[in-house]
Amino acid sequence: MVKRRDPKKGTGKKPKGSGRRLYTDENPRDTVSIKFATPTDARKTVAKVKRINKPFARKIQILTVLEQRAKVAGKLAQAKIAKAGKEAIRKARKK
pLDDT at 95 over 80: no
CA neighbor of 49 nearest in space, from 57, 69, 39 = 57
Whole-angstrom Cα distance, residue 95 to residue 91?
A: 7
Q: Specify the pLDDT at position 11.
A: 59
Q: How many residues belong to the chain?
A: 95
pLDDT recorded at residue 3 = 64
Is residue 2 over pLDDT 70?
Answer: no
pLDDT digits (tens, 9 = 90+) for 22-74: 555 666 777 888 999 999 999 999 999 999 999 999 999 999 999 999 999 99
- Residue 49: what pLDDT? 95
More confident residue, 15 or 51: 51
Distance CA 62, CA 24 (A): 16
